[in-house]
Structure 1
Amino acid sequence: MTLFSAAAFALAASAAFAQEITVTHAQGETVLPDTPAKVITFDIASLDTLDALGVEIIGLPGTNLPEYLSKYSGEDYLKVGTLFEPDYEAVAAAEPDLIIVAGRSSAAYPELARIAPTVDLSNDWADFEGSVKRNSQVLGEIFGKTAEIEEMIAEFDARKAEVQAAAADAGTGLVVLTSGGEVTAYGPGSRFGWIHETAGVAPAIEDVEAATHGDAISFEFILETNPDWLFVIDREAATAEGGAAAQAVLDNELVAQTTAWSQGQVVYIDPVRSYIVNGGLPALTYLIDQVGDALAE
């Protein structure tokens, strides 16, 4: 066999083993010719899951990384802009096999898809848990890690059942986000609705949107709602913008009269995993654990 024919045979054999992967995602379908080897992600939730799976990436945004993913801030990984503004030239120069966007970066999908195969793994607030699982399964399929993802989901479901059992007798809860000294409430079907829908905490208000019209709430509103539990996400702590801490914002005579405050049932939800990551399966498992641990105390 000549050198040329041997090379041709090897190429043909490689092509035969390569298997196209069709990925259905939030902005359509993307066909991958094979398992990607050079991955850039603009989605921290996907990075959360890929890291747990041991799947390497080559590039990501250079800001807003949580501490537990801090290794990706090192020089071994390309920095390709921000979550909102990709550096398209840097992305193109990296010649990735796959680009992942979601949520904050989803608007960049059309431009990034011109550079390389791109998938949008945005979460669905109306079915947050379901979308987190589906997006994890997509990543498992792409990288040949289906068994590992199903094991992670099984562990998550087992823990969820325990937390829901504890929540059944825990009373009502109100979820609030503090930002710039203001407080906003969230309920079922919102970005933080998983506290009700997945953890099983009964909402102190069924329709928060109707009650607040999406506006910031007053401390009188919190007192009138009088939740048994107050679940707090501190945006300043998540973004390191240096504003007033959530505990300082809420520490006043009105909130102090609520059952949640007087009984010491105020839970400061991990701000980075809930606000910045906001969707990876390992991150959601951590958050469910946090709620479960609080309810068990």
Structure 2
Amino acid sequence: MNTRVLFLSAILASVGLNGLAHSASFNLATNKQNIELKQTPKKIAVYDLSILDTLNALNIQAQIVPKTTFTGSLTSYNQAQFVKAGSLFEPDLAQLKQLKPDLIFVGGRSAKTLESLQPIAATVDLSPNTDQYMTDLKNRTLNLAKAFKRENIANKKLKDLEQLQQKVQQQTASKSAMMLFAVGDHYMPHAANDRFGFIYELTGFKSVLPLTEKTDAARPEAGSMQALAAQKKNAELLESAIQQNPDYLIVLDRGAVNTQKYATKQGIKTHPILGQSQAVKQNRIIFVNANAWYITGAGLDNTAFMLKEIAKSISK
């Protein structure tokens, strides 16, 4: 083989190797960030359960997770083989430096730690935007699926989820509801633009609550004049909503998180305002799974779980 042929062979081999290297690269694009790695990450740390749920649904396994109680489709992460490093709010920086992950995910409760984690490893914030619940879930899922080459799984699951949502919305057509976040004896109504107000978009229930006025003011101190005024306003809002006779009351009991002890199942019956509603008298109350709605949130498989939970409760 002459020198010219050897030279051409070397060039072709180089091009081939470069092509393989390029095909093995990893690119995760979001609205705010663009993460580029030389290869698909193998050691992944996740500090938001909605992200973990979506990754898990796409058959992408994390190795490092926070110390918390994992339920539902994430139960396997309670096992000791998964390293627990920090909490949902505060990743353990020292432990992560030793573990040397290839990629770190933050979101929601842990989003504020993004900058402190970036010197350790590539870190991406995939916080859910529940103001546009399904559109945002689809975008986050497809971004992950494209980066990890799981498009087939993602498209199948998203199609199934869309069909499930349509089925639920057929059940809720022309029906109204009020979402309630319960803490002890206090029931806080959530309008469509409140934290758990995404339920109206997700399920198709019509809200009986007006949109709330947003404020950056801190929560008033318990027992203060401001707190008492807020309680009075809350009671007036509940009374006004109940007068519209919602078909269903949907209750997220904060006290049932990690305990599954739903004290509100009894407490709501004796509540001076809610107890007089037709929904309570006719037992049209949906007590949603506290961990799924409060802790895991807007993940791919968890959203399907939440929709099935609503569908099952309506069909009783």
Q: Cα gap change, 1:228/1:12 in structure 2, threshold over 3 Å: closer, same or farther?
A: closer
Distance in 2 (alpha carbons) for counterparts of 1:58 and 1:32: 18
Report if aligned partners of 1:127, 1:189 keep a CA contact under 8 Å in 2.
Answer: no
Residue 296 of structure 1 corresponds to which residue in structure 2?
A: 315
Aligned runs of 1:227-238 on 2, under 5 Å? 227-238=246-257
Aligned mate of 1:182, from 186, 202, 219: 186
Indicate whether 1:21 and 2:40 are aligned.
Answer: no
The 10-residue stretch of structure 1 (182-191 or 222-231) with the greater mean CA deviation from structure 2: 222-231
User: Over residues 164-193 of structure 1, what are the superposed CA-to-partner deviations in whole Å (9 max), with x where a residue is unaligned?
Assistant: 111113x21000011133211112133322
Q: Is 1:250–2:256 an aligned residue pair?
A: no
1:67-112 CA deviation, whole Å, 9 max, x = no partner? 5422212220111100111100111211111100000000000111
The amino acid of 1:24's aligned partner reads T
TM-score, scaled to structure 1: 0.87
Q: Is the 8 A contact 1:125 1:189 kept in 2?
A: no
Which residue matches 1:266?
Answer: 285
Picking from 44, 47, 58, the partner of 2:63 is 58
Q: Counterpart amino acid of 1:15?
A: A
Please tell me whether Structure 1 or Structure 2 has the larger radius of gyration of its CA atoms: 2
Structure 1, gaps ≥5 residues long: none
CA shift, 1:13, in A, is: 7.3
1:1-297 alignment to 2 at 5 Å? 15-25=21-31, 27-169=32-174, 171-209=175-213, 215=230, 217-218=234-235, 220=239, 223-240=242-259, 245-252=263-270, 253-297=272-316
CA distance in 1, matches of 2:17, 2:69: 42
Query: How far did residue 251 of structure 1 move?
Result: 2.0
**What secondary structure is seen at the aligned counterpart in 2 of 1:100?**
strand
> Counterparts of 2:260 and 2:310 in 1: how far apart (Å)?
25
Kept after mapping to 2: 8 A contact 1:187/1:209:
no
Instruction: Answer whether contact 2:69 2:78 (CA < 8 A) is retained.
Output: no
Report the AA paired with residue 54 of structure 1: N
TM-score by length of 2: 0.82
Aligned length: 286
C-alpha displacement of 1:40: 0.4
Counterpart amino acid of residue 288 in structure 1: L
Which whole-Å CA distance do the structure 2 matches of 1:181 and 1:68 have between them?
A: 31
State how far apart, in whole Å, the 2-side matches of 1:165 and 1:67 are.
26
Confirm or deny: 8 A CA contact 2:45 2:101 kept in the other structure: yes
Change (3 A) 1:265 1:157: same
Paired residues of 1:60 and 1:80 also in contact (CA < 8 A) = yes
2:6 corresponds to: none
What is the root-mean-square deviation in Å for CA atoms of aligned residues? 2.6
Question: Residue type matched to 1:260 in 2?
Answer: A
| C-alpha distance 225-239 of structure 1, shift in aligned 2 (>3 A) | farther
Between 1:12-21 and 1:35-44, the stretch displaced more is 12-21
* Structure 1 residues 209 and 238: CA distance shift in structure 2, 3 A: farther
CA distance in 2, matches of 1:292, 1:67: 18
Unmatched 5+ residue regions in structure 2?
1-9, 220-229
